[in-house]
Amino acid sequence: MSVPVPPPPDGVLTGTSDSLEAGEPTLGLRDASPDEGLVEEFTAEDKAVEQLVGGLLSHYLPDLQRSKQALQELTQNQVVLLDTLEQEISKFKECHSMLDINALFTEAKHYHAKLVNIRKEMLLLHEKTSKLKKRALKLQQKRQREELEREQQREKEFERERQLTAKPAKRT
């Protein structure tokens, strides 16, 4: 006994391409879409798919929601840690800048001491040059007086020699 098989919908091929018989329909350009007869089958399948999707969602959704919540908490914690890290970095930079400022103040004190020493040396040199200028002026004045005295002495000697020179007597 053979079980009756429902005939395939129009335009659907059955069997292999080698076993096509003369009475079997083939798909052509003018044939109807193969989806037309399957609409009723999909409604039952859609319900099954919806039930399967619902089952998958009910099975995995709580875990996914917990994972999502855990990721959100981790993200919030990460943001808090990043903020804290930025604050610590800014404190570290402030400490470094304070060290740099302290080094600058130390260097400024050192250079201030150098400037004070240079100023003292300049004042001493100014005093020495003033004294040397006064001494040079006194020496120059002394030389000029001595030269003047020598010139006056020569003139006196020249006048004396002139007076001592014999003069011819006048004839009268």
Q: 34: which DSSP letter?
A: T
pLDDT at 115: 97
Q: What is the pLDDT of residue 33?
A: 56
Q: What's residue 169's pLDDT?
A: 72
Q: Report how far residue 1's alpha carbon sits from residue 113's, in angstroms, rounded to the nearest whole number.
A: 123
Per-residue pLDDT of the chain (172 residues; tens, 9 = 90+): 454 545 555 544 544 444 444 444 544 445 555 555 555 566 778 888 999 999 988 999 999 999 999 999 999 999 999 999 999 999 988 888 888 888 899 999 999 999 999 999 999 999 999 999 999 999 999 999 999 999 999 999 999 888 887 677 777 6
Check residue 40 and give its pLDDT: 56
Q: How far is the C-alpha of 165 from the C-alpha of 32, rounded, in Å?
A: 169
Tell me which amino acid residue 169 is: A
Radius of gyration of the chain (CA): 64
pLDDT confidence of residue 11: 47
With 0.85 as the threshold, say if the pTM is over it. Answer: no
- Report DSSP state, residue 15: S
pLDDT at 20: 46
C-alpha to C-alpha distance for 17 and 19, rounded to whole angstroms: 5
Residues in contact with 34: Cβ distance below 8 Å, sequence separation at least 6, in sequence order:
9, 11, 12, 27
Element (H, E) at 100: helix 39-164
State the pLDDT at residue 41.
60
Q: How far is CA 59 from its chain centroid?
A: 51
